[in-house]
Amino acid sequence: MTETTVRIPTPLRPLTDGAADVVVEGSDVAAALGALGARYTGLLERVLDEDGALRPFVNVFVGSTNLRELDGLRTELREGDVISILPAVAGGGPA
């Protein structure tokens, strides 16, 4: 199996017991995210909608390339790839 690292953004770390980098197995992004979701309940719903598509306020990158520019969730992974999840954050550091 292909081992990759998923970088968890701060807003989702409460769901990974604070883990910032999680190593998962999966030959493509969908499988890797599925493995992540199996390990941490509630996490996948924050990234994917009911139909399993990426939510519009989340971007997922393999290396520095957006999934949208690759094959989406079907993007194949190589050993050691880093998957980054980046949600929109509003803050400027309010009152």
Partner 1 sequence: MRASDQRLAELRETIPEVTPAEARALQEQGAALIDVREPDEVAQGSPAGAERLVRGFLELRIEDAVPDKDRTVLVMCAGGVRSLFAAEGLRQLGYSAVRSVLGGFNRWKEDGLPVEHPRVLDAGERERFGRHLLMPEVGEQGQVKLLESRVLLVGAGGLGSPAALYLAAAGVGTLGLVDDDVVERSNLQRQILHTDDRVGTPKVASAELTLKALVPGVTIESYELRLDSGNVDEVFAGYDVVLDGSDNFPTRYLVNDACVKLDIPNVHGSIYRFEGQVSVFWPGYPGRRGPCYRCLYPAPPPPELAPSCAEAGVLGVLPGVVGTLEAVEVIKLLLGIGDPLVGRLLHFDALAQRFSEYAIEPNPECAWCHAEGEFPEYVDYQSFCSSAGVGAKAAG
**Which residues of this protein are in contact with partner 1, per CB under 8 A?**
7, 9-11, 20, 46, 55-59, 61, 64-66, 68-69, 84, 86-95
d(CA 49, CA 54): 6
- Is 83 strand, coil or helix? strand
Residue 1 or 7: which CB sits closer to partner 1?
A: 7
* Smallest separation (angstroms) from partner 1 to the CB of 58: 8
Minimum CB–partner distance for residue 38 and partner 1 (Å) = 21
Question: Please, what is the minimum distance in Å from the beta carbon of residue 89 to partner 1?
Answer: 4
How far apart CA 28 and CA 32 sit, in angstroms, is 6
Torsion angles phi and psi, residue 87, rounded to 5? -85, 155
Instruction: Give the nearer residue to partner 1 in terms of CB position, either 56 or 79.
Output: 56
Helix (H) or strand (E) holding 25: strand 21-25
